[in-house]
Amino acid sequence: MFCYSLFHHSPPLITKWKPQLLFFKPNFKSQFSPLNFYPNQNFPHFFTKRISGYPIKSPAFSSSLEDEFDVELGRLLSLLPEEMRRRIREHEELRELIEVVMDIGRKPLARFPSGDFVLSDCPITVQDIEHATSQVGDFAIDNRAGISRTLHRISAIRNRKGTIIGLTCRVGRAISGSADLLRDLVQDGASLLLIGPPGVGKTTIIRDIARMLANDYKKRVMIVDTSNEIGGDGDIPHAGIGCARRMQVPDSDMQHKVLIEAVENHMPQVIVIDEIGTKLEAMAACTIAQRGIQLVATAHGVTIENLIMNPSLEILIGGIQSVTLGDEEANRRGVQKTVLERKGPSTFSCGVEIVSKTELRVHRCLEATVDAVLAGRFPRIEIRKMNSQGLEESSQTFTDISSDKEDLVVTGDLSETSDENSIGNHFPSDLSSKMADDSTEDRDLLHMYVYGIQEASVIQGLKKLKMDAAVQLTDNISEAGVLFAVLSKLRKNSGIQAAAKSHKIPVYVAKTSSSMQITKALEALKDDYPYGLKNPGSENDMNILEKVDALEEARIAIEQVVIPKEEPVELLPRPTQIISLQTELIEKYQLQSEKIGKGSDVRLRILPFKLVKDEDKSSGEDANANDFENFEPYGTNGSPHGVDRLPLLPD
């Protein structure tokens, strides 16, 4: 049965196995060596073990891949003179070799992760270039060639006459397991668009995805290989793609036609494309997606935003169009009347930003990410990493992919605001306090619209100040009770300013998005809120010992200093609820007090002045009682002020 499986799995290799099968011993397990069966190919799929759905290669399998890589690397090094080959083989980072650079008249270089390494003190000659080019395939129009049955890429530099004067010999590797971080998306049949700069490993990942789909999930996979990078050079594809089939592209300008031909002639379930770069290729991919075929493709870029700003590739994410909104809708969204929106459905369901060979940023819903970017919000992404033990780590977060660039929402100018006032309400003359008009039922829950700051950072600040249960974030500015933003970004967006003014929403800004500035602005909001911004149940949860300690502190200060010595006394900073209790005690002694300090440093100062009754009001109502519901610690310019002192009573 074991021998039958070998023959059945890969028929083209039967002729290579026959001589070795004759020498099998009865106890063949101890004598078996994978390299005897697969001298130039990957170890077959049925020699892998599975743990929790992920293939874990056996030691024999890993040894097979290493030896096979040594054979393929030897084919690349055979292009070099003997001295250069010897210098490379002696290097400690031989297995991490990236590429070899040969230019006529210059010393040859080998590039490793640690840096460039000079291979010879003698400059490259014309004979060296001719020796190398004679051992590779023909150079196509894109000046690329390869070595048959390997993944190495040889790129040529020509002079004005068309003569080759330089070579870049790039090492190609088939790394099994490089796409394990995306296995769940591949298994679900999602169409994946991989984005990353050159050299980050896009081709390696989609090669492993093609093998995974063909071997593990038994799908009909067709690779449209632009320059034979996925399947290698030559008519027989590299074993790294597994059972997937490969169509070569004679001319890169014809790639869009080959894509359509692959669908019409070969009935694939999956199409794999490398380096979509033109509008025709993007349109062909869009057409294929409409036929119900799973797509896996790569494109050059760093983030999804790069595709949005690329007119040739924007169709991959649904296309971008300019839309004119009505006045009511523009006010509701908090933007100007002309905005950018996604034109239609995205060609790909998921987007993957390749940060490094061990870290990916996954956008599970590419359409939602594009909509968030166009609306000036932060998209939800999933960060997946492979640690040193080969285990997957993932986390979800909100990330500002536009970084410090201008927002995609139509922007305008914000009137200059002094830095000193950057944590208060910057529009007091135009905005009435909407918070004071809130109904009694809703006054304990404040709806906040966040702009230009990561929502995760704001939530962290709210938790730090114990305001998280009293504040709820909202995406609709018309429902917001307060606008919280970064000053620099708010200045650029006149649409947000207009929406805040039209809805009479107080605006609180932070100088930067640092945690310290966010906390400082949230403290100002906490102090300004008319009803005292606190979490539900916080009054009942206050520590009784803290209450007793605060009241005892106030009593001793009154009886030992304020009354006998007629001197003011400042109490220790306390929470708002405890300050209220201290105020009631001070009033019982018929004394005045004032609130000083900001944020977490708010405290009471007991004054040696008698409390005065207001004759215009009903009897028993204190004119200077510290009613915290009407107390405003910030003036219109954001500066703190205390309670006005009443005149002294006559003796």
Banded pLDDT at 325 (limits 50, 70, 90): confident
pTM (two decimals): 0.53
The per-residue pLDDT for 43 is 35
Asked if 377 and 475 touch (Cβ cutoff 8 Å), the reply is yes
Place of tokens 């003997």: 82
Q: Fill in the DSSP letter of residue 437.
A: G
Strands 115-118 and 109-112 come out as antiparallel
Average pLDDT score over residue span 509-522: 84
Place of tokens 């790394």: 175
Banded pLDDT at 429 (limits 50, 70, 90): very low
Residues 54 and 177: their CA atoms lie apart, in Å, by: 9
Residue range 8-25, pLDDT digits in tens: 444 443 333 433 333 333
Q: For the chain, give the percent of residues with pLDDT over 70.
A: 72
SS3 label, residue 101: strand
Which pair of tokens denotes residue 263?
A: 């669908």
Asked if 540 and 509 touch (Cβ cutoff 8 Å), the reply is no
SS3 label, residue 280: helix
The per-residue pLDDT for 389 is 64
The CA distances from residue 386 to 177, 182, 541, 553, in Å, are 11, 11, 43, 56
Banded pLDDT at 55 (limits 50, 70, 90): very low
Residue of 443, 542, 431 lying closest to 497 (CA atoms): 431
Residues 249 and 265: their CA atoms lie apart, in Å, by: 15
Residue range 79-104, pLDDT digits in tens: 999 999 999 999 999 988 999 999 99
Show the 3-state SS of 382-420. Answer: EEEEECCCCCEEEEEEECCCCCCCCCCCCCCCCCCCCHH
Asked if 120 and 127 touch (Cβ cutoff 8 Å), the reply is no
Higher-pLDDT residue of 367, 410 = 367
Which pair of tokens denotes residue 549?
A: 């300690």
Asked if 228 and 207 touch (Cβ cutoff 8 Å), the reply is no
Higher-pLDDT residue of 427, 558 = 558
Considering only 25-39, 259-273, 309-323, 510-524, which range has the smallest mean pLDDT? 25-39
- The residues, any chain, with a CB within 8 Å of residue 359's CB and separated by 6 or more, are 383, 384, 385, 386
The per-residue pLDDT for 386 is 83
Residue range 376-417, pLDDT digits in tens: 777 888 999 887 666 666 666 555 443 333 332 322 334 433
pLDDT at 643 over 60: no
Higher-pLDDT residue of 140, 539 = 140
Residues 67 and 74: their CA atoms lie apart, in Å, by: 11
**What is the sign, positive or negative, of the torsion defined by CA atoms of 306, 311, 315, 316?**
negative
Asked if 602 and 573 touch (Cβ cutoff 8 Å), the reply is yes
Residues 439 and 576: their CA atoms lie apart, in Å, by: 21
Residues 559 and 424: their CA atoms lie apart, in Å, by: 38
Residues 388 and 649: their CA atoms lie apart, in Å, by: 77
- The residues, any chain, with a CB within 8 Å of residue 279's CB and separated by 6 or more, are 311, 312, 313, 315
- Quick one: angle between helices 59-77 and 82-89, nearest 10? 150
Banded pLDDT at 633 (limits 50, 70, 90): very low
Amino acid at 596: I
Residue range 436-463, pLDDT digits in tens: 344 334 445 788 888 888 887 888 888 8
The per-residue pLDDT for 488 is 80
Q: What is the DSSP secondary-structure string of 77-90?
A: HTTS-HHHHHHHHT
Asked if 302 and 200 touch (Cβ cutoff 8 Å), the reply is no
Residue of 237, 214, 239, 232 lying closest to 41 (CA atoms): 239
The per-residue pLDDT for 392 is 67
Amino acid at 575: P
Residue range 236-289, pLDDT digits in tens: 898 899 999 999 988 888 899 999 999 999 999 999 998 898 999 999 999 998
Asked if 497 and 413 touch (Cβ cutoff 8 Å), the reply is no
Place of tokens 């500066």: 639
The per-residue pLDDT for 40 is 38
Plot region of 147 (φ>0 → left; ψ -120 to 50 → alpha; else → beta): beta
Beta bridge partners, 109, equal 101, 118
pLDDT at 194 over 80: yes
Banded pLDDT at 523 (limits 50, 70, 90): confident
Place of tokens 């100018």: 413
Higher-pLDDT residue of 147, 576 = 147
CA 181 to chain centroid:
15
Asked if 81 and 131 touch (Cβ cutoff 8 Å), the reply is yes
The CA distances from residue 228 to 137, 148, 196, 300, in Å, are 11, 10, 19, 18
Q: What is the C-alpha radius of gyration for the chain, rounded to an integer number of angstroms?
A: 35
Which pair of tokens denotes residue 447?
A: 């709806």
The per-residue pLDDT for 444 is 54
Asked if 539 and 577 touch (Cβ cutoff 8 Å), the reply is yes
The per-residue pLDDT for 271 is 96
Which pair of tokens denotes residue 250?
A: 């004679």
